Amino acid sequence: MVEKNLLFQTLLEQADFLGVKTYVVDGDSQLNLTLSEVIAEKGFNDKKICILNSEHYDANRLRVYLNSRNIDVFFIDNNEDYAKTLNTIKEVEIGITPADLLVAETCTLVIRNKRPFLRELSLLPPIHIAIIGEDQIIADLYKAVEILKSDIMKGDGITLITGPSKTADIELNLVKGVHGPKEVILFIVRKDFNQKI
């Protein structure tokens, strides 16, 4: 328990340092509620929002919930046509995605490249919202590699994402969102309240 708290503390500190807004929610219903509030609060209602399917949350329920709050969301299924879907993602302003792991030490999202459209939806839209289960939080990068090693040795690729896209190429001014998202928002779903994770 102590260890878990320490992990959380490190993670939240690092998220704060990177400017990654983090919400810790208890279970699916609080996730739905908080996510819809964040979207409404930020005035994102009129934005084009897209959610990716995941085994870590109920994307369909989330969509229905957001719809009921007058937030229009569309949903990408894993086996849709690549070129067609890419064209859709091109216009998306908020991408809501899962991730495979979250590294506490550096607040790094780890994703497997073989997950359909995850690389694209976490990269193209100006805002990326990642939903992570508490159980997916690990201490450091070495642990991540340990977990993913056998897949990597079979040739799979992975992507590590640490905070929003940034550059300092113009007179060393830090500017966010040069190619990738300007903003990364994290939702951590606590396990005890959610049987699905």
Binding residues (CB under 8 A) for another protein: these are 14, 82, 86, 90, 105-106, 108, 113-114, 119-120, 123, 141-142, 145, 149, 152-153, 155-173, 175, 177-181
Taking phi over 0 as left and psi of -120 to 50 as alpha, with beta for the rest, 70 belongs to: left
Residue with Cβ nearer another protein (64 or 168): 168
Residue with Cβ nearer another protein (4 or 114): 114
CB of 130 to another protein, least distance (A): 14
Residue with Cβ nearer another protein (58 or 105): 105
Residues 6+ apart with CB under 8 A from 157: 112, 113, 114
Residues 6+ apart with CB under 8 A from 81: none
Instruction: Give the Cα separation of 197 and 192 in Å (integer).
Output: 9
CB of 179 to another protein, least distance (A): 4
Q: What is the largest CA-CA distance in the chain?
A: 50
Q: Where are the beta strands (DSSP E) in the chain?
A: 21-26, 49-52, 73-76, 94-98, 101-103, 108-112, 127-133, 137-138, 158-161, 166-167, 175-176, 183-190
Residue with Cβ nearer another protein (13 or 37): 13
CB of 22 to another protein, least distance (A): 17
Query: Quick one: which H or E segment has residue 102?
Result: strand 101-103
Residue with Cβ nearer another protein (27 or 177): 177
CB of 122 to another protein, least distance (A): 9
